[in-house]
Amino acid sequence: MSVLLLNASYEPLTLVSWKRAMTLVISGRAEMVEQAGDRVVRSAGGAEFPLPHVVRLMTMVTFAGMRARRSHRFSKSALSARDDHRCQVTKCDERGSTIDHLVPRSRGGETSWENCVLMCPAHNSRKGDKLLGELGWKLERRPSAPVGAIMLTPARSSEWSRWVVPA
């Protein structure tokens, strides 16, 4: 089970394991902001502790990877999260499992957030090295780089909707 870790300013930082969250809370380096329902963790000595769902650090932290409005490193898993695992061609309800370059690499297109989208294998195969305009296709939404401290899939972001804006 994952726990959302907030900075002292309540800014979402990352997801940590429940064991790491418990360590932070018990050591006094973090406080529990939200409990995971009525669930508890029992120690070997018989003590019971509420299981955290959201914890907040007691002191503000910064680290090398933390930059204001920094975009995420491009990867297929992050692209899948951004595109909700769906083909981005308008009116296609298929699962997107292949990466398509809007401006094909054979025409000088780069592998970037703004040039790549998920497509179903049928659309990707049919598109080949053509541009969308040449086929008369449109996208569901314009591709852009996700921004924020952490990025969650739309399904997971609902768990922490009070704290994290979906990518």
Give yes or no for a contact between 6 and 15, defined as CB atoms under 8 angstroms apart: no
Q: 153: which 2 tokens?
A: 């899939």
110-141 pLDDT tens trace:
999 999 999 999 999 999 999 999 999 999 98
What b/e string do you get for 89-102 counting C-beta neighbours within 10 Å, with b at 16 or more? Answer: beebeeebeebbbb
- 66, 97, 113 - which closes a domain: 66
28 lies in some domain? yes
pLDDT at residue 136, as a whole number: 95
> What is the SS3 assignment for 40?
strand
User: Residue 167 — very low, low, confident or very high, per pLDDT cuts 50/70/90?
Assistant: very low
156 lies in some domain? no
Q: How far apart are CA 83 and CA 61, in angstroms?
A: 31
Is the same domain home to 37 and 88? Answer: no
Structural domains in the chain (count)? 2
7-31 pLDDT tens trace:
898 888 888 899 999 999 999 999 9
What b/e string do you get for 121-153 counting C-beta neighbours within 10 Å, with b at 16 or more? Answer: eebbeebeeeebeeeebeeeeebeebebbbbbb
% of the chain at pLDDT higher than 90: 50
Q: 39: which 2 tokens?
A: 């669930």
pTM: predicted TM-score of the whole model, two decimal places: 0.56
150 lies in some domain? no
Is the same domain home to 128 and 88? Answer: yes
21-70 pLDDT tens trace:
999 999 999 999 988 888 888 888 888 889 999 999 999 987 655 555 55
51 lies in some domain? yes
Instruction: Provide the residue range defining the domain that includes 37.
Output: 2-66
